[in-house]
Structure 1
Amino acid sequence: MTAITQADDSPKIPTRLYSLDALRGFDMFWIMGAEEIFHALADATKWGPFIAISNQLTHPAWNGFHLYDLIFPLFLFMAGVSTPFSVGRELEKGKSRNQLVLRVIKRALILVLLGLVINNGLNIKPIHEIRFASVLGRIGIAYMFANIIYLYSTEKFQIFWFWFFIIGYWLLLKFTSAPGFPAGDLTMQGNFASYMDRTILPGRLYLGVHDPEGLFSTIPAISTGLLGILTGITLKKTTLSQGTKVLRLAIVGVIFLVLAQIWNVDFPINKNLWTSSFVLNVGGLSLLLMAWFYYVIDVLGYQKWAFFFKVIGMNSILIYISGKFINWEYTTKGFFNWLLYFFNDPYKLVVGAICYVMIKWLFLYFMYKKKVFLRV
């Protein structure tokens, strides 16, 4: 399960990327409790930098962007990066495209079902009380379509589909709206994507009139998955030196960030709608992070510092769904409640948040040592 790390700049055939597992773990780290550490630090110290970080670890109400908005699309991006190393490798071994498509569809269905369980538990409910849209559901659907495009098209056509989805989505929302609202309305009630979700999605929407993981706004999310696939193709190429790969990802990342700000003027950066400017903005940041992790870990060979994150990244789905079958607050108190007696409020909350993350990491480390990994 380990990656082969090259310290030189010559083109080599890459296998599993240590940097990809580490970046995935870095991404999950922020939603497995690390954000609460900084919220607690901000409340305890009232120090400006901690308050700024704490604010970045929240979601804007509608338009705008905080770094916390990057976690979800970065995970989808990385699912795409892994495609050329997993699905692509199976294709090279001789498996047919039809076989691989069936595997991709199966994985998407499993993720959709897991999303339903996370949203609603295993309780039997009336359909109108069930929330069908979910984070894992969006990942599954976007991953599926991106992988189908990967399997049946060339790299040039994958680039075409990337732009087709986000430009088409922009035009659609620009010239349409919910009934009774002016064309191009992008409010929660007035935009066309939310209206379509209210029309076609059964059950309840997360915000009543809108769901941030709705079905219609999954269309541009396919482009996020495709960008990851194109990144994976680049990292897998043996015709490019490792330095060239890093430079290419970094340059495209900066270009995307600039384009996102330009597009933001007409089509605001908005995670709730997964707007096209949002796709470019998080795509640019994802490319820069991937370039940095790949350069430091796989090119320069500095791996030890990233082991903490790799342990998380190797079981990312497991830790995401674990809250449904493990009471982490109870477990944390069971192991560390004695430690909290040495601290007074408000720092007791800071220590508690650190212990909460640590007990989760120790669980993942145990699974890592036993070589138990949840695969979907």
Structure 2
Amino acid sequence: MSTAPATPLRISSIDILRALTMVLMIFVNDLWSLKDIPGWLEHTAAAEDGMGLADIVFPAFLFIVGMSAPLAIAARRKKGDNNQQIFLHILERGAALLVMGLFLVNGESLNAEATGINRGIWNVLSCLSFIALWNAWPKDTNPWVKRILKTAGIGVLLVLAFICRSGSGDHMQRFATHWWGILGLIGWAYMAGAILVMLAEKKIVVLWIFWAIFTGICIASHAGLLENEIIQTLIGPLGSGGHVALVVGGAITTTIFFHYYQLNQHAKMMSFLLAIAAAMLALGFALRPYWGISKIRVTPSWVLICSGITIVTFVVVNWIADQKGKAGWFDFIKPAGTNTLLCYLIPYFVYAIAVATGWSLPDVLLTGAVGLLKSLAFALLIVSIGGLLGRLGVKLKL
């Protein structure tokens, strides 16, 4: 069983699953604007044992990153890239995500007075720079225009990093790694996971070994067996191994999927993946008494349960979209699966404009069920804007 099909294929259900996850991510990221909504929709506190809907979105996205990795690597190999070229490409993509994550994180704790600009302007300038640097420009774009925009993007980011101040008084800080941010954590997990997929060289057994190793690291870390400071520094950005386990789990899912897809054995594929999902869910709940379920603490139970949930969701989406030919049902959220990074960044512009103009919605639209409909409509609006911008040539692709 190989880690990719002989010829790279694009299965609509993978893009649809990514789109659904991004819509949910925008939705849950907007819940801060609401009041009187069910607690199970929101993040669970670090000390609590449990998870809400918001705690499932991030691991699902990491899992989908892993699902896409074998296909991307197969495509690059078909183009003639060797492992060294693929390795450098992985590092380049990961570094871009780290940069984005760090700038957005520094915006979270920005001291507007000491920096000279507020958080809204910081985020807008950062996101515009990201677009200038990593937009997939149309082929007929003037090369000089691209060079000027990329140079301007780098210049703006350097200036922002220089003027950045957070904290106050004696605790004033300059640009720093407060934490890596969602994009940064995705970047670290993607780099480690994609490199492992590359090294697996089409051997699924090797992928299972990698998955077991990083799941084991996650368990060992929570069991207090990895207290060494150097080890913690190395595995910290990787979610103590848990984030990488999610990515590798996604790669394994794609491997199994394509094995049966090429044999036209869809029923076996669904049964096998659902069996793996059931095993992960069972193991996750079995480990729950030891360390609980927690996204913030990246507990083994959280990793395993979210992996199982994502696999089940993928099987359902694949059955609807690819096997039953109903992919068109999801066309209205398609940009969230194909222009995903831009859709993630657009809300930063919207929130900045709202703050700058003092514009806000009446309380009735921010409360309870009505508020939830508002946040869902907001997520769909963002996706529509992402689709429109994509048609105009704005499409981030690392």
Q: TM-score range by the shorter chain?
A: 0.7 to 0.9
| Equivalent position to 2:255, from 233, 246, 249 | 233
| Equivalent position to 2:325, from 289, 301, 322 | 301
CA–CA distance in structure 2, aligned partners of residues 76 and 249 of structure 1: 18
The 5-angstrom pairing of residues 168-247 of structure 1 reads 168-176=217-225, 192=227, 200=233, 214-215=236-237, 217-237=239-259, 238-239=262-263, 241-247=265-271
User: In the alignment, does 2:297 pair up with 1:273?
Assistant: yes
Instruction: Say which SS state the counterpart of residue 265 (structure 1) adopts.
Output: helix
The 5-angstrom pairing of residues 254-265 of structure 1 reads 254-265=278-289
RMSD between aligned alpha carbons?
Answer: 3.5
What's the offset of the Cα at 1:329?
Answer: 5.8
User: In the alignment, does 2:318 pair up with 1:318?
Assistant: no
CA deviation map 1:30-55 (0-9, x unaligned): 23236757985x83xxxxxx73xx52
Tell me, yes or no, if the aligned pair for 1:57 and 1:66 is still in contact at 8 Å. Answer: yes
The 5-angstrom pairing of residues 1-376 of structure 1 reads 15-33=9-27, 36=30, 40=34, 43=36, 51=38, 54-62=39-47, 63-121=49-107, 122=160, 123-125=163-165, 126-127=173-174, 130-153=177-200, 154-176=203-225, 192=227, 200=233, 214-215=236-237, 217-237=239-259, 238-239=262-263, 241-327=265-351, 330=354, 349=371, 352-353=374-375, 355-370=377-392, 372-376=394-398
What's the offset of the Cα at 1:77?
Answer: 0.6
CA deviation map 1:13-72 (0-9, x unaligned): 7721211121112112123236757985x83xxxxxx73xx5233333433222221111
Bigger mean CA deviation after superposition, 296-305 or 365-374: 365-374
Tell me, yes or no, if the aligned pair for 2:343 and 2:383 is still in contact at 8 Å. Answer: no
Bigger mean CA deviation after superposition, 271-280 or 57-66: 57-66
**Comparing both structures, which one devotes a greater share of its residues to helix?**
2
TM-score, reference length from structure 1: 0.75
What's the offset of the Cα at 1:322?
Answer: 2.7
What's the offset of the Cα at 1:91?
Answer: 1.7
Q: Which runs of 5+ in 1 are unaligned?
A: 1-10, 44-49, 178-191, 202-212
CA–CA distance in structure 2, aligned partners of residues 241 and 38 of structure 1: 45
Tell me, yes or no, if the aligned pair for 2:41 and 2:53 is still in contact at 8 Å. Answer: yes
CA deviation map 1:165-200 (0-9, x unaligned): 1123312431448xxxxxxxxxxxxxx59x779x85
CA–CA distance in structure 2, aligned partners of residues 259 and 328 of structure 1: 43
CA–CA distance in structure 1, aligned partners of residues 106 and 199 of structure 2: 36
Instruction: Say which SS state the counterpart of residue 94 (structure 2) adopts.
Output: helix
Instruction: Say which SS state the counterpart of residue 66 (structure 1) adopts.
Output: coil
Tell me, yes or no, if the aligned pair for 1:220 and 1:274 is still in contact at 8 Å. Answer: yes
TM-score, reference length from structure 2: 0.71
Instruction: Say which SS state the counterpart of residue 215 (structure 1) adopts.
Output: helix
* Change over 3 Å in CA distance of 1:373–1:158 after alignment to 2: same
What's the offset of the Cα at 1:354?
Answer: 5.1
CA–CA distance in structure 1, aligned partners of residues 374 and 248 of structure 2: 39
Higher relative contact order (CA 8 A, sep 6+): 2
CA–CA distance in structure 2, aligned partners of residues 351 and 279 of structure 1: 29
Tell me, yes or no, if the aligned pair for 1:260 and 1:277 is still in contact at 8 Å. Answer: yes
Tell me, yes or no, if the aligned pair for 2:66 and 2:249 is still in contact at 8 Å. Answer: yes
What's the offset of the Cα at 1:109?
Answer: 0.6
* Change over 3 Å in CA distance of 1:136–1:77 after alignment to 2: same
CA–CA distance in structure 2, aligned partners of residues 344 and 21 of structure 1: 31
Q: Which runs of 5+ in 2 are unaligned?
A: 108-159, 166-172
* Change over 3 Å in CA distance of 1:262–1:293 after alignment to 2: same
Instruction: Say which SS state the counterpart of residue 103 (structure 1) adopts.
Output: helix
CA–CA distance in structure 2, aligned partners of residues 37 and 253 of structure 1: 29
* 1:357 aligned partner, one-letter code: A
* Change over 3 Å in CA distance of 1:13–1:216 after alignment to 2: closer
Residues matched between the structures, number: 327
Tell me, yes or no, if the aligned pair for 2:66 and 2:190 is still in contact at 8 Å. Answer: yes
CA–CA distance in structure 2, aligned partners of residues 372 and 61 of structure 1: 37
* Change over 3 Å in CA distance of 1:134–1:344 after alignment to 2: closer
* 1:222 aligned partner, one-letter code: V
